[in-house]
With several copies, the nearest count.
Chain A
Amino acid sequence: MRWVKRHLLAFAALAVLFYMLIPNVVVAIFSFNKPRGRYNYQWTEFSTEAWQHPCGTPGICESLGLSLRIGITASFVATVLGTMVAFALGRHRFRGRAGTNLLVFMPMATPEVVMGSSLLTLFVMMGVPSGSEAILIAHIMFCLSFVVVAVKARVASLDPRLEEAAADLGANAVQTFLRVTLPLAAPGIAAGALLAFSLSFDDYIITNFNASPSSITFPMYVWGASTRGTPVQINVIGTIMFLIALVVVVGGQAYSSRRQKAA
């Protein structure tokens, strides 16, 4: 009993973690299902068929590919733009700081429905056709704020004396930036990019407002499929993405801790 009491916190934490992971577990389990009809909601039979043909349903891998392309492009652009803004905010004093902060904060405080619909109104007015370009623009927009916030936190905690030390040791402004500032801000930038990618990859609401039939992203595909019965391949791809994320994050961790420990 005392043992239980002492480990109460651990139990609570693990219970919460369980709650957070249970859908993934269910998704993974059902990725090995062989549904009798067209709906994959009831366990019938073990099968690795979907794993052997992850693209076996029309459109699924195209939509995954599109989501990955948009996710990578959007997170790249948002990371570049956001990092620049974060550096300005974290490293410089200038007039209009407060306004800039507000402008960066607002997209995070705006419900997605509102953002998606307002963009649609604008695009229609400007004659920008719906489709992957429109989606990309939207994704860059809402990822930007999150990148700024993630990178700014890091930049603000950087010791400005390190840059002075670099200058003192003969590094000019460009060298100082490339050799000292950027590497030190890198974890924040990586975190921002990762966050941006996951937000873009996962977005449905804003995307839905700006998509065209030729730009079905993976979440839209899932949504569409859910109205008719989701193919097992969706579970397979969901599980693969989860595993990739685990590998990427664990790998990143291992890499940075190995760098830290470097003999």
Chain B
Amino acid sequence: MAEQLSGDLRLVGLTKSFEQFTAVQPTDLTISQGSFFALLGPSGCGKTTTLRMIAGLEDPSGGQILIGDKDITSTKAYQRNVNTVFQSYALFPHMTVLDNVAFGLKRRGDKDAKRKAEEALELVQLAEVGRKKPVQLSGGMQQRVALARAIVNRPDVLLLDEPLGALDLKLRRQMQIELKRIQSEVGITFVHVTHDQEEAMTMADTIAVMNGGRIEQLGDPATLYESPRSTFVANFLGQSNLLRATVTGEPGSDGTVVVRSHDTDLEVSRAHLPDGIREIFLGMRPEKLRLGTGGGPNQLKGTVSDVSFTGVATQYLVRMPWGRELTVVQQNDGSARAVVGENVTISWAAEHGFALDAHQDADAGVDTED
């Protein structure tokens, strides 16, 4: 049991159905050893279920789970070299923090459990609270204890189920940094579930966006953000402005294609346009839009309907003549600000637009609440 049969984590056709309902569609996925992998998606999309199958807390309805070459599909939870940081922390309330952390080691008969547990607490900077009970700690501290309790076992894979979900923004940012640090120090595979896209983007090497039990898109954060392949990903991972448009021209020599939207000709990179599609959504990220004409060949005119200051940046809503509002984010770097009611021109570069098949719901992934 103690042998470290480490290797990539592989899910092969993994699926899970509850009575009437399929929570996880057959999924194939390889997560390379030592990487930080994030699973992102709206509530109920099957993230926790996937994690629980990997941990052995839920029996898959089909498919296999492998670590390296070893098939662990039918191994019992307590025999798997996988640990979980639960969203609820699930710290044992009747044990001290130290006993919580030493729990896994003791179950494996590790003679050195206490010392190792103390080291793990040091790693999460909680050496001094070992004697306390979990209730005596703040949420952030509890979260770190849960982390230490999992990490101390040096599992092949560490599963983190929204471990920061209950923390407030400031503490959350701090913990994100800490998690990254710990991952790079101990070098085990992290599978991190969250529905905070910013968290996923700052932390993960690879992100999988899940929707309705399927992985909708997989890739590194920047690729996913800059080139979403569905309206769902475009809306769920950050904000997007989507304009309905029709491809009117052929690719030009500069690698751009002309599309027509609301009686305006706009350009989009050929590379960002899926083949053989004429009806598209033209998408632009808010921070790619410029107020003014300096941004590129694409220009739209509108009226500022809302300005909101967020410190680092200011967010503008600009109403288009056809009624829809576009969101523009502009860094507060000292450049001039627009005011509500002002008529402005919005512009962007052709390579910053992306095109999506228009045969889907433009609002998918916008509102994640049901």
Direct contact of A and B (CB under 8 A): yes
- Once A169-B104, A170-B108, A170-B153 are accepted as A-B contacts, the answer to whether A164 and B94 lie under 8 Å apart by CB is no
Provide 26 A-B residue pairs closer than 8 Å at the C-beta atoms, listed in order of the A residue: A159-B90, A161-B90, A165-B84, A165-B86, A165-B90, A167-B56, A167-B57, A168-B56, A168-B82, A168-B83, A168-B84, A169-B83, A169-B107, A170-B78, A170-B107, A171-B103, A171-B107, A172-B78, A175-B78, A175-B107, A176-B78, A180-B92, A184-B94, A260-B133, A262-B96, A262-B131
Most buried by A among B77, B86, B104, B135: B77
Q: Does B258 contact A (CB under 8 A)?
A: no
Q: Does A166 contact B (CB under 8 A)?
A: yes
- Once A159-B88, A180-B92, A184-B93 are accepted as A-B contacts, the answer to whether A167 and B78 lie under 8 Å apart by CB is yes
A169 lies within 8 A of B103 (CB): yes
- Encode A77-113 as 1/0 by CB contact (under 8 A) with B: 0000000000000000000000000000000000000
Chain A: minimal CB distance from B188 (Å): 15
Q: Does B149 contact A (CB under 8 A)?
A: yes
Which 6 pairs from chain A and chain B are nearest by CB? Answer: A169-B104, A165-B90, A170-B107, A167-B77, A161-B90, A183-B94
Chain A: minimal CB distance from B100 (Å): 9
Residues of A near B133 (CB, < 8 A) are 260, 262
- A159-B88, A169-B153 given. 10 additional CB < 8 A pairs? A164-B86, A165-B86, A165-B90, A166-B92, A167-B76, A168-B57, A168-B78, A168-B84, A170-B104, A175-B107
Most buried by B among A165, A167, A171, A184: A165
Q: Does B55 contact A (CB under 8 A)?
A: yes
**CB within 8 Å of A: which B83-114 residues:** 83-84, 86, 88, 90-94, 96, 103-104, 107-108
- Encode A163-199 as 1/0 by CB contact (under 8 A) with B: 0111111111001100110011010000000000000
Alpha-carbon distance A218/B316, docked complex (angstroms): 81
Q: Does A14 contact B (CB under 8 A)?
A: no
A168 lies within 8 A of B107 (CB): no
Residues of A near B55 (CB, < 8 A) are 168
> What is the interface of chain A mostly: helix, strand, loop, or mixed?
helix
Most buried by A among B88, B96, B103: B103
Residues of B near A167 (CB, < 8 A) are 56-57, 76-78
Residues of B near A260 (CB, < 8 A) are 133, 135
Alpha-carbon distance A175/B48, docked complex (angstroms): 25
Q: In the complex, which residue of chain B has the Cβ closest to the Cβ of A180?
A: B92
Q: Does A17 contact B (CB under 8 A)?
A: no
Q: In the complex, which residue of chain B has the Cβ closest to the Cβ of A176?
A: B78
Residues of A near B78 (CB, < 8 A) are 166-172, 175-176
B107 lies within 8 A of A161 (CB): no
Q: Does A247 contact B (CB under 8 A)?
A: no
Residues of B near A186 (CB, < 8 A) are 94
Chain A: minimal CB distance from B109 (Å): 10
Q: Does A162 contact B (CB under 8 A)?
A: yes
- Encode B41-65 as 1/0 by CB contact (under 8 A) with A: 0000000000000011100000000
Q: Does A263 contact B (CB under 8 A)?
A: yes
Q: In the complex, which residue of chain B has the Cβ closest to the Cβ of A162?
A: B90
- Encode B231-271 as 1/0 by CB contact (under 8 A) with A: 00000000000000000000000000000000000000000
Residues of A near B107 (CB, < 8 A) are 169-172, 175
Alpha-carbon distance A65/B274, docked complex (angstroms): 86
A166 lies within 8 A of B57 (CB): no
